[in-house]
Structure 1
Amino acid sequence: MGDGIGRYRGTGRDTESRTSWESRLPQWLRRRPREDAGEASGHRLPLLLATAAAGLPIAPAAYPSGYSCSCERIGCPTPARHPVSFAWQTQSTTDRDTIERWASDEPEANFITATGMVHDVLDVPLEAGRAALERLLAEGIDVGPVAESGEERMLFFTATRGTPEDEDEWWPCELDCHPETMDEHPGLRWHSRGSYVLVPPARLPDGLTVDWARGPEHPLPDPLTLLEVLADACATYVDQADEHDHDRHSVAWPQHR
């Protein structure tokens, strides 16, 4: 489930752990081979129950149907990435019996977790996320569960800051209201109340999957402890992408004197 990476404080025992982690990190950073359908289905329920046991509420979601979505909506903008019920926020649960029933009734279904009740998710480009995770672990900063979503995004699960005692201090942002607008926001996105993300194991229409890099057994950190490193990594990612685009266009559209 998780990669077993713990917390490092610089003491003798922790230094030994750090050395072990450093030796494993390059292997972890290499993309893991995808499981076939049989292996994935065998691991699905235990992983879902582990997610619920960690306190993260989940609800059924759509799944791939050929190259499209099981919802059969023509032109579905987020195939296999959205909940199946409009009541997903109230439907989301950690109840074991309910989850077992859902998994049995819909053996192909993906699952989402509703954010902003127990946890938030900091959602970043995969390349930026990997760089940030390496830095966070090297600096001994507590990191909670982390998932890779296909080949595009990395999800950092944190404690929520979306349920203040004074409800007047909270309001949903545009990103939270419309989780499907991910492509419009190449940098960091903060999923809080009114939002959701897929939880592993999940399948995407292009044959990719959503998998844990660090499992849900890791305690949820305060998001602010990760925010600076994630923001720096995203800024670097965007700058590099801009440079690539600039070079590409310079070749395509040379400036003649």
Structure 2
Amino acid sequence: MSAEFGGPSGRQGRISQWLRGRRPKQPAGDGGREGLLLAAAGAGLPLAPAAHPGIGYGCSCDRVGCPTPARHPVSFAWQTQSTTDRAQVERWARHQPEANFITATGMTHDVLDVPLEAGREALERLRLGGVEVGPVAESDDGRMLFFTLTRGTPEDEDEWWPCELDCHPETMDEHPGLRWHCRGSYVLVPPARLPGDTDRAVRWLAGHGPEHPLPDPLTLLETLTDACARHTADEPGHPAPAWPLRH
């Protein structure tokens, strides 16, 4: 009788199965979210917690009229706070389950940020040319993010310059529509949620996740610039503002 009770087809087995079925399920995607964040940190992308969408198109921060809702770090010390430490990223992800995350650029990597349609065109050309593109993310706010090696060299401070040099209007003729995020900047790292519709997000492009090595930005720059020039020519009078805005 005891063997039957403890067996997989016995009463105890049925009770255990029933109890397992009664346990509250974990929110969908939590494990995937943490895994993707750890993969990004493991690839050398320093992370820090960011705001998340509030009500409607709002932001979780307490700033009235936040100019970059759900797209900015939660701490003013984000540059020094950003880390690739697995244990710290795990703590943040578990203690702040709704938070987005940013990755600070100009430390180990830069990001070439282009209009979505221009990015798709460039990506196809790069693939046809046999160029190793590396990690690429798509954002539902109409941008594509190409993650590259940094052009800065931490050992030589003279080789660094801030992201603002690529964001001022006088630089837009050289790289129309392209924003080069380097020192002093950041971007949202997937998975991230955007304000508005519940499915608006920043996600890794299929086949271009953080497991791929970071390319030299100069191997992508000419193709991206050409695609951006055609894109901006199709939409005269609508220059893209520099992003992220200072918060």
With structure 1 as the length reference, what TM-score do the two structures score? 0.74
Consecutive unaligned residues in structure 1, runs of 5 or more: 1-36, 179-184, 245-257
Pairwise CA distance, 1:238? 0.5
Give the direction of change, closer, same or farther, for the CA distance of 1:114–1:101 in structure 2 (3 Å limit): same
Q: Which structure's CA Rg is the greater one? A: 2
Aligned to 1:223: 217
Aligned to 1:44: 33
Which residue identity lines up with residue 132 of structure 2 in the other structure?
D
1:66 aligns with 2:58: no
Aligned to 2:14: none
Aligned to 2:243: none
RMSD of aligned C-alpha atoms? 2.2
- Where 1:65 maps in the other structure, the secondary structure is coil
8 Å contact kept, 2:70–2:194:
yes
1:238 to 208, 221, 232: 232
Which residue identity lines up with residue 193 of structure 1 in the other structure?
R
Which residue identity lines up with residue 220 of structure 2 in the other structure?
L
1:189 aligns with 2:179: yes
2:160 to 170, 179, 185: 170
Give the direction of change, closer, same or farther, for the CA distance of 1:60–1:176 in structure 2 (3 Å limit): farther
8 Å contact kept, 2:190–2:204:
yes
Give the direction of change, closer, same or farther, for the CA distance of 1:105–1:227 in structure 2 (3 Å limit): same
Stretches of 4+ aligned residues off by more than 4 angstroms = 175-178
Pairwise CA distance, 1:206? 1.6
Consecutive unaligned residues in structure 2, runs of 5 or more: 1-25, 169-174, 239-247
1:209-257 deviation digits (Å, cap 9, x = unpaired): 000001000100000000000000000000111299xxxxxxxxxxxxx
1:98 aligns with 2:92: no
Aligned to 1:81: 71
Tell me the number of residue pairs that the alignment of Structure 1 and Structure 2 aligns: 202
Q: Which has the higher helix share?
A: 1
Aligned to 1:182: none
With structure 2 as the length reference, what TM-score do the two structures score? 0.77
Report the Cα distance in structure 2 between the residues aligned to 1:103 and 1:86, rounded to whole angstroms.
Answer: 19
2:102 to 112, 134, 140: 112
- Where 1:205 maps in the other structure, the secondary structure is coil
1:158 aligns with 2:152: no
Percent identity for Structure 1 against Structure 2: 74
8 Å contact kept, 2:52–2:100:
yes
8 Å contact kept, 1:176–1:195:
no
Pairwise CA distance, 1:168? 2.2
Which residue identity lines up with residue 212 of structure 1 in the other structure?
W
8 Å contact kept, 1:125–1:186:
no
1:176-203 deviation digits (Å, cap 9, x = unpaired): 799xxxxxx9700000010000000000
Aligned to 1:127: 117
